[in-house]
Amino acid sequence: MTPMTVDELAGIIAKSFDGMHERQGKFEQHVEEKFQQIDKRFDAIDVKLDQIEFSVSSQDRRISILEDRVRLLGTKAGLDFHQKI
Protein backbone atom coordinates (compact mmCIF):
# COMPACT_ATOMS: atom_id res chain seq x y z
CA MET A 1 0.00 0.00 0.00
CA THR A 2 1.41 3.37 -0.97
CA PRO A 3 1.15 6.21 1.48
CA MET A 4 -1.54 8.79 0.76
CA THR A 5 -0.55 12.35 0.09
CA VAL A 6 -2.23 15.28 1.76
CA ASP A 7 -3.66 16.33 -1.61
CA GLU A 8 -5.20 12.88 -2.15
CA LEU A 9 -6.72 12.92 1.33
CA ALA A 10 -8.07 16.40 0.72
CA GLY A 11 -9.59 15.20 -2.58
CA ILE A 12 -11.31 12.26 -0.87
CA ILE A 13 -12.73 14.53 1.81
CA ALA A 14 -13.86 17.08 -0.79
CA LYS A 15 -15.70 14.36 -2.75
CA SER A 16 -17.54 13.30 0.40
CA PHE A 17 -18.86 16.85 0.71
CA ASP A 18 -19.91 17.13 -2.95
CA GLY A 19 -23.61 17.90 -3.12
CA MET A 20 -23.86 18.58 0.60
CA HIS A 21 -24.80 22.24 0.06
CA GLU A 22 -27.41 21.30 -2.51
CA ARG A 23 -28.96 18.68 -0.20
CA GLN A 24 -28.92 21.12 2.69
CA GLY A 25 -30.56 23.79 0.53
CA LYS A 26 -33.31 21.40 -0.53
CA PHE A 27 -33.88 20.37 3.07
CA GLU A 28 -34.09 24.01 4.21
CA GLN A 29 -36.52 24.77 1.39
CA HIS A 30 -38.67 21.78 2.40
CA VAL A 31 -38.71 22.90 6.04
CA GLU A 32 -39.62 26.46 5.01
CA GLU A 33 -42.52 25.18 2.86
CA LYS A 34 -43.81 23.12 5.79
CA PHE A 35 -43.64 26.14 8.10
CA GLN A 36 -45.57 28.20 5.56
CA GLN A 37 -48.25 25.50 5.39
CA ILE A 38 -48.46 25.41 9.17
CA ASP A 39 -48.73 29.22 9.29
CA LYS A 40 -51.63 29.12 6.82
CA ARG A 41 -53.39 26.47 8.91
CA PHE A 42 -52.91 28.50 12.08
CA ASP A 43 -54.30 31.57 10.30
CA ALA A 44 -57.37 29.57 9.25
CA ILE A 45 -57.82 28.27 12.80
CA ASP A 46 -57.51 31.81 14.14
CA VAL A 47 -60.26 33.01 11.79
CA LYS A 48 -62.53 30.13 12.83
CA LEU A 49 -61.90 30.79 16.52
CA ASP A 50 -62.79 34.46 16.00
CA GLN A 51 -66.05 33.40 14.33
CA ILE A 52 -66.83 30.99 17.18
CA GLU A 53 -66.04 33.65 19.77
CA PHE A 54 -68.37 36.11 18.03
CA SER A 55 -71.11 33.50 17.81
CA VAL A 56 -70.78 32.51 21.47
CA SER A 57 -70.77 36.15 22.51
CA SER A 58 -73.92 36.78 20.46
CA GLN A 59 -75.63 33.75 21.94
CA ASP A 60 -74.60 34.77 25.45
CA ARG A 61 -76.11 38.22 24.89
CA ARG A 62 -79.34 36.69 23.55
CA ILE A 63 -79.57 34.31 26.52
CA SER A 64 -79.10 37.20 28.94
CA ILE A 65 -81.91 39.13 27.25
CA LEU A 66 -84.19 36.09 27.40
CA GLU A 67 -83.35 35.54 31.07
CA ASP A 68 -84.23 39.17 31.82
CA ARG A 69 -87.52 38.85 29.97
CA VAL A 70 -88.42 35.61 31.75
CA ARG A 71 -87.53 37.20 35.10
CA LEU A 72 -89.74 40.21 34.25
CA LEU A 73 -92.62 37.99 33.18
CA GLY A 74 -92.20 35.89 36.30
CA THR A 75 -92.23 38.97 38.50
CA LYS A 76 -95.42 40.18 36.80
CA ALA A 77 -96.94 36.71 37.28
CA GLY A 78 -95.88 36.65 40.94
CA LEU A 79 -93.40 33.78 40.56
CA ASP A 80 -90.45 33.39 42.92
CA PHE A 81 -87.41 32.24 40.91
CA HIS A 82 -85.36 31.64 44.04
CA GLN A 83 -87.72 28.90 45.16
CA LYS A 84 -86.63 25.39 44.13
CA ILE A 85 -89.06 23.46 42.00
- For the chain, give every domain's residue range: 35-80
Q: Is the pLDDT of residue 30 over 90?
A: yes
Residue 2 pLDDT grade (very low, low, confident, very high; cuts 50, 70, 90): confident
Q: Is the pLDDT of residue 23 over 80?
A: yes
Residue 4 pLDDT grade (very low, low, confident, very high; cuts 50, 70, 90): confident
Q: Which range is least confidently modeled, 50-59, 62-71, 75-84?
A: 75-84
CA angle 59, 66, 83 (to 5 degrees): 125
Tell me, what's the pLDDT at 18? 81
DSSP state of 85: -
Q: Is the pTM of this model over 0.75?
A: no
